[in-house]
Chains A and B, each alone.
Chain A
Amino acid sequence: MIKDSLIYDFFAHPMRIYYIFAGILAIFGALVLIFRIGDFISFHQFIFLELFCAAAFCGFLFTAVPDWANYKKSLMSYSISGFLILILALISQILGFNGHIFIAIFWSFLALVVSFWLILGKNYDNFALIFLLFSITLVEILGLFYGLNSYALLHCYVAGIILIGFRVSMTLGNLALDKKFGKDNNTYTFIPNPILKNISFLSIITLAYATLLNLNLETQGFIAFGAGLITLSLLAQWHYKFFLSVHYTLIYYILLLGSGILYSAFGLNLLLGLDFSSKILHGITIWTLLGFVFFIFNVSSLRHSGQVVLNLPICGKMGLGFLFIAVISRVFLSDFWDSFYITVPAIFVGLVFLMFSGRYFIIYKNNPFTDDPK
């Protein structure tokens, strides 16, 4: 009986519960900002940077890592444990206690579980992922004692997105090739450049550590500028007409382009001693972090819901446009009118995840979970 229920399905396939949960958290975070609830500045930071990202990464990793490590046992206990920790974090923060403790516990739990699965599966090719997870854990634990360094955390997440994005980009490229040549006739394979991916990851994680260690602004500026240029260099491999004419590879390209530009701008801002750090970092948060997470949510959800031919629903395509408006509003227009500073970006970010949660809840409900059709 329970096994047939929707809730069982959602927890048995953690991607579903965690993605929907992340979407709801993003809507909640947007509402907190729009209605200025309580200490909305630190509360929205806690929701977006800690709870939302924790749920998003967990949803992806609890689906992908068992596949990479060939782990076949039930994921139910892991997904329930992780979910409970996140709920405790949320409740304790709402009640005025320190929710960061639970977030630190959550990342420790996630890092250990992922390491355990990979070691069990004798999969020793994911050092970068393990390093990333323990780095996030370190940032969170240090945050308990010295105050959270949210920018270091943001850069860690972006480094994670580079890692995860590499895997996703391989799928996207090959799907685009299938689309161009026909699935049965396609003899072409797309292989993104792993060396550039590694360099890009290392540069951004170096920036995270430079921020964590509070190195001077010039050092951070040089590293950020370098990271931006390296991210831009990833674009070369997408310069094929058919990649830029298929919507999902084009979206990936635009996200990457925006991320590279934003990181380069952040670096230049620090080097030239300008005062745009907060704006650009919000741009990175909305465009790179939320944008990529939203896109990966879409792609992985569809791939694991039996959709062999990838076709993002209209909300998936519109979402990117909304995030673009949110970035333009927060980064460029916020000086002209107060609403552009918080309200407009919050409304558009909220809308993106409202559309996502609604649409994908129905997709999850109507389609059984499937393995990735490689």
Chain B
Amino acid sequence: MIIKDGIEIKLSPLHKISNYLIEGLSGLGLIAIFLGVWQIGSEFSGSFILPAPLDVLKRSFELITSSNSQISLTIYRTAISIVLAFIIGWVLGVIAGSFKTLAKIFKPLMDIFLAMPPIIWIVLALFWFEFGDMSVIFTVFIAIFPLSFANSMLSVITLDNRLNEVCIAYRLNLIKRLKAYYLPHILPYLLNSLNIITAMGVKIAIMAELLGASDGVGAKIADARAYLDTTEVLAYVVIMIGIILLFNFLVIKPINIIFLPWIKEN
């Protein structure tokens, strides 16, 4: 980096994103080295306990290119749940955060929801919606909704009122106030929440499909478990982790770079 008077010089968002993408190769490199360590583990434990990473990667590739992998079904279910949980959680969170009485009312409810193990929701969803889409979508939604809600409520509660007074004193209109006051404070919470619920959503969706659906990645993993096919189980794991990492790398971080340039990534 180039610094002037102890401060890093400003770069255009495009330059920053290009640097970010190239520096991202180091993350990919570290994953490759981790795969090397995995390979050693595979040599010691045997391919049944821990299949070789190259075999797992090859199988992952086959699954991605195959029409029978049902990855898209799981992504579809997860995406619906995440979008709903994110939007509803944020709207309700903003409302609850704006009115202290509502915040007080919702607080114990949210604590209960947050403490509830997702597995309970899976069992309940099976009773309520039977096997299939609805049961999985509901489970994922109900498990991640409290996270989105709590983050949203917290972001509004922690707004600094003194800055608001400054905005009023300078008679800033709503757009300027959004740009200078609300967004810089709320956006980190928003992105953090999106990051967490995406990762949680994918994990819970797979678990819900494993226990409460006859299709989707989770169900495929259950089949692979029945056939003792460790390679296939790990291949699905690799794909789903890859999707989470890619989403984080290509969506969350670039938004951070563009809209929150003061937040240090490294």
Contact surface of A with B, Cβ cutoff 8 Å: 173, 177, 187-191, 193, 195-196, 199-200, 203, 206, 210, 215-216, 218-223, 225-230, 232-233, 235-237, 239-240, 267, 271
Contacts and interface: CB of A to CB of B under 8 A. Distances in A.
Given A188-B4, A239-B19, A230 B26 contact: yes
Given A206-B33, A237-B1, A222 B28 contact: no
B26 A222 contact: no
B23 A226 contact: no
B54 interface: yes
B29 A230 contact: yes
19 contacts: A188-B4, A189-B3, A218-B52, A218-B53, A218-B54, A221-B36, A222-B35, A223-B33, A225-B32, A226-B36, A227-B29, A227-B33, A229-B28, A230-B25, A230-B29, A232-B25, A233-B29, A236-B20, A236-B22
B22 A196 contact: no
Given A222-B36, A222-B39, A233-B24, A187 B31 contact: no
Contact of B26 (A187, A196, A206): A196
Nearest to A210: B36
B40 A215 contact: yes
B26 A233 contact: yes
| Interface-central residue, B1, B2, B53, by most chain A CB under 10 Å | B2
Interface string B1-43: 1111100010000010011101111101111110110011001
A236 B23 contact: yes
B29 A226 contact: yes
Contacts of B9: 188
Given A222-B35, A226-B31, A227-B29, 11 more contacts: A189-B2, A193-B266, A216-B43, A219-B36, A219-B40, A223-B36, A225-B29, A226-B33, A227-B33, A229-B28, A239-B22
Contacts of A220: 36
Interface residues of B, number: 30
A191 B3 contact: yes
B11 to A, nearest CB: 9
B174 to A, nearest CB: 38
| Interface-central residue, B20, B33, B40, B53, by most chain A CB under 10 Å | B33
B29 A195 contact: no
B39 A218 contact: yes
Nearest to A203: B33
A223 B40 contact: no
Contact of A191 (B1, B5, B266): B1
A240 B60 CA distance: 38
B30 A230 contact: yes
Nearest to A174: B2
A200 B29 CA distance: 9
Given A206-B33, A232-B22, A187 B5 contact: yes
B24 to A, nearest CB: 7
B30 A199 contact: yes
A218 B58 CA distance: 14
